[in-house]
Every structure is written in structure tokens, then in C-alpha cells.
Structure 1
Amino acid sequence: MDRDHKTNVMGTLNMLGLAKRINARFLLTSTSEVYGDPLEHPQVETYWGNVNPIGVRSCYDEGKRTAETLTMDYHRGLNIEVRIARIFNTYGPRICIDDGRVVSNFVAQALRKEPLTVYGDGKQTRSFQYVSDLVEGLMRLMEGDHVGPFNLGNPGEFTMLELAKVVQDTIDPNAKIEFRENTADDPHKRKPDISKAKKLLGWEPKVSLREGLPLMVSDFRRRIFGDEKDTQGSQKLAE
């Protein structure tokens, strides 16, 4: 969508200009989407990616790639202090229930007794990190001395069918799976190499999918049904 590209490009330019005026350290929250449908697996920060510049997803992919370019231009040309994080799929409490992300979709569908919608054959992979791990990584990045980019993600890799099975195990073993036609340019594999973040930031994720998902489910159940009986879990990792 045009608004995605405008936000990523014009929004980044505006914020870089503000950082320059007030002499602030600038954080760009980039994305694993800059790797496109990767030909290297897992993805390291030195990989340039495989992106279709005129594809249906390109407004986001290329928007973030341009944002990284602008950020480094301001850093090199104007000595702005910047940090770049390439964020992989993240989930957890307070995420928008109907935002279209696969974990949100599966959890909301299972709670509502709807079929879990799997696009394509379900063999495409993603890596899912719990939100508290991401926050810790961003804090270490901002407080450290390294520009990046850094992959921030959980290297645990799941096919969409494996993710659906975890959701079934967590919410409803009888939840049905409904297959639909895949979307264009859907990446086949996605897994971060986090060696750089481990070495330079001393960071790696601690929360597995099977540990973190029930905390998200408790939050979704409360917001969808107004169920207050199972809210303690969603607070557990925030304390």
C-alpha cells in the first residue's frame, strides 16, 4: 500500500531530521522482510536479500530497505548516531487481535472456534520471538556502541503447520485447519542468524514458543471474551 511506503520513507526522513536537530540517537526498527524470499538460510546481516521490487509486498519490503539506506546516509554524511534492528516475527500480549499476522490469526481463530487458515501448503517457515525478548534486544542495542544492523529474532524455526499444531495443543486440540490459496511473493523460509547480536550485544532470546504462546492466549481470551479468570499468566514475564 502507498501509505506503507510513505510511512517508511517520509516518516524515516522526518525522524532523522528531528534527530539531527536535537542531536538524538535514532533507532530504526527495520524488519526481516528486507531479506525478501531469501536464497540464503538462515539469514545473516551481510545478506543483501532477494526482493521483488514490483511485487505485491514490495511497498513494505522496499520501504524498509530505503529506510535503512536513509538511516546510514544520515549516519555517514551527517554524523547522526543511529541504530538499526531487523526485527523478525514477534508475538505476545497486547498485540492487535485482528492485525492479520499469523500468530494473531491462529490464536483468535482457535479461541473463536473458527478454522485456522493456512495459506499454501503450510510448509513455509517463520521464526517467532516473544515480545519481552525483543524489548531486551532493543534496549541492549540502544545502550550499546554498535550501529548494526542486528537481527533480533528467535532462531527456532516452525512451519505454518507446526505453528498450527502448537496453537491446537495450547487452546483446542480439535481446532480445524482450513487451507487457502497462498499469497504472492510469500517467503518460503525465514530464520535469523543471531551470531552478531550474541557476540556484540550479549543478547539471545530466552522464551520458547510453547512458553510464550499461553501468555498471549490468556491476554487474547480476556480481550475477546472479557474472561478475567486467566490473566495472571500474561503478567508473568512482565514482572
Structure 2
Amino acid sequence: MEALVTGGAGFLGTHLVKRLLKDGHTVHVLDNLQTGSLHNLQPLIQEFGDRIKYQQHDVLQPFPEFGNLDQIFHLACPASPIHYQKDELNTLKVNVIGTLNAIECAKNSGARLLITSTSEVYGDPLESPQKETYRGNVSTTGIRAAYDVGKMGAEAAVAAATRQQGIQGRIVRIFNTYGPGMSPKDGRVIPNFIQAALKGEPLEIYGDGSQTRSLCFADDMVEGLLKAAASDHPEPINLGNPDERTIKELALLIIKLTDSKSKLVEKPLPQDDPKQRCPNITRAKEILGWQPRISLEEGLRATIPYFEALQTRV
């Protein structure tokens, strides 16, 4: 298979590129390195040579010509609030215009197209776990809106192109994902907690820490992406781990696994911070035959050494 991965130098993109290469495929990577890093790809370039072909490219611009492709995985977009809130209009454009450019590439190359949407389309949900049929509770004017509504626009574009332009479009809604390779500065809960625990610093939780998240290990998520890309199901599919944990519970588990003396410190809740996040993955189980295999504790044990190594290098 000849595949294109946009955002392939980012955290999840790198895991996907690595898996595709290990499975014997040729992989083109587009990334503007706004939040990704060429450092993530260099070991893969050394190991797999010309089977990985990287171009620095902004998806706001029409994609380069690739000839025939089999599959496009469109991941390109800042995924952390600290990044997507920095330039909200650009985030909105990346989600919508970037996806329109991915659709054009799919039409020109004959490729199937998978886009990674997000659990953020459910907003601050009034239903839990969230099913794909739930329409959500999204603020259209809050500080998360450019990302949340932008992803909704991306879904609408792919659905329309699948209905009216004959592309094979697939949509997955990704819930919180973690693992080795996460940027230590992206502001997400796993990097923040692990780094603070390793330094013996307080772990900052927002409110009383009772808000929940469902955390999926990167290897499980990549398996879900591959299964969704190969499926014949055009409707959105949730990909995530339904093992719902409170933020406080997560913080205490990380303190335990790092053997840290850190304490918890409560901070004010950010605007529009979702109180619950948990996927209903019945559709993924029934249609894709997919569900997460790696427990939270097992995944954290695989992730902590990565952050330990980063601190050693510093």
C-alpha cells in the first residue's frame, strides 16, 4: 500500500507512520512542523530509508501531486488546547480548508480518505458514555470553539464528498490518547502529571478533580485507525478507551507509578472544560472488531520511561 499521512510528524501521526512502515507500506508524510517535529521521524527515515518520504507542507495549501495513492490518513491539526487556542482562526482554517484539500487529494489520487475528528464534537456532554448519534453540547463561541466546530466542519465536508463526489471517506472521533512521543510542552494532562511527579512538584488539578477522561494508549488507537480506514462504514466511529477515570484518580495513579512524593493542588476550572469524556465504542466493536487492549496502568508504565529519558537529557 502507498499511504499519505498528514500531520505525520506529530505524536499520533508518528505512531501511525511507524506502524505502516513496519507493515511493509510506503508512506508519504506531510507536516508543517508547527506542533510536530522532524526529530520524531528521523529514526524511521534511518530504519526504513526511501519507504518514508517527508515533505514540509502546510495543509492550508493544495497538496503536492502524488500520482496514485491507496490511502490518505488526514491527522494534521493542533490537538492540544495550548496550541489550538493560540491562533483560533488558523485552527478553524486548518480543520476546514485542510480537510477540503485532503478531499481534493483523494479525488486526484484515487485514494480512500480517513479523517481524525475528535470527541470534542460532543462538547460538554449531557449524555455519557457518548454515542456517535449524540448531537453534542458544543459552545460555538467559547475558547475551544475553533477546534470543536472546525472538526464538525471537517466531518461535514467528508460526508458531503462521500455522498456527492464519489470519494471513499471515513471518519473517526478520537478520544484522549497518550503514549511515548508526546510533546512535554503540549499542556495535556498526561505529560503535565508525569513530569511534575518525576520532579516531585505538585500536580495541578482543575476544580476538585472529579471531571473524567477516558485515556487510550497510542498503539491501540493506531490499530483502530487502520481498521476504520479499511472499513466500508461511512458514518463516524468513536475510537477511545471506555475505562473512565477521574482526573484526581489519574493523578494519584501517576504518583504511585512514579513513586513520587508529589501532592495535589487544586486550580480554577478553565472555560468550557468538559466535565465528562467517555466513549461508547459499540459501533467500533461491532463494525471494526476493535477495542482497546492495553490497560491504563500498563500504558502509563510504558509511557513514564519516555519522560524519564527526556528529563535525563535535560
Match of 1:24 among 111, 115, 127: 111
Moved over 3 A (4+): none
Residue deviations 1:44-68 (CA, integer Å, cap 9, x gap): 0001110010111101100101110
Note the C-alpha offset of 1:35.
Answer: 0.3
- 3-state DSSP of counterpart to 1:188: coil
Please point out which of 107, 132, 136 is paired with 2:219: 132
Secondary structure class of the residue paired with 1:54: coil
RMSD of aligned alpha carbons:
1.1
Change (3 A) 1:108 1:173: closer
| Distance of 2:224 and 2:95 partners within structure 1 | 22
How do 1:1-239 and structure 2 match up within 5 A? 1-226=88-313
Aligned to 2:213, what secondary structure does the other structure show?
strand
Secondary structure of 1:19's counterpart equals helix
Shift of 1:154: 0.3
Give 1:20 deviation, angstroms.
1.1
**TM-score normalized with structure 1 length:** 0.92
Report SS of the residue matched to 2:116.
strand
CA distance in 2, matches of 1:144, 1:80: 14
Query: Secondary structure at 2:117's aligned position in 1?
Result: strand
Tell me the alpha carbon deviations over residues 96-121 of structure 1, each in whole angstroms, 9 at most, x when there is no partner: 11111111110111112221111112
On the 8 A contact 2:209/2:248 being kept in 1, the answer is: yes
- Bigger relative contact order, structure 1 or 2 (CA pairs below 8 A, ≥6 apart): 1
Q: Deviations over 1:95-151 (max 9, x none)?
A: 111111111110111112221111112110000000000011111111222223110
1:36 counterpart letter in structure 2: G
Equivalent-residue separation in structure 2 for 1:175 and 1:114 (angstroms) = 5
Distance 2:311 2:239 in 1: 30
Give the unaligned 5+ runs of structure 1.
228-239
Deviation at 1:226, TM superposition (A): 3.2
Residue 172 of structure 1 deviates from its aligned partner by 3.0
For normalisation by structure 2, the TM-score amounts to 0.71
Does structure 1 retain, via aligned residues, the 8 Å contact 2:200–2:260?
A: no
- Please list every run of 5 or more consecutive structure 2 residues that lacks an aligned counterpart in the other structure: 1-87
Residues 55-86 of structure 1 show CA distances to partners (whole Å, capped at 9, x for unaligned) of 11101100101110011011111011011110
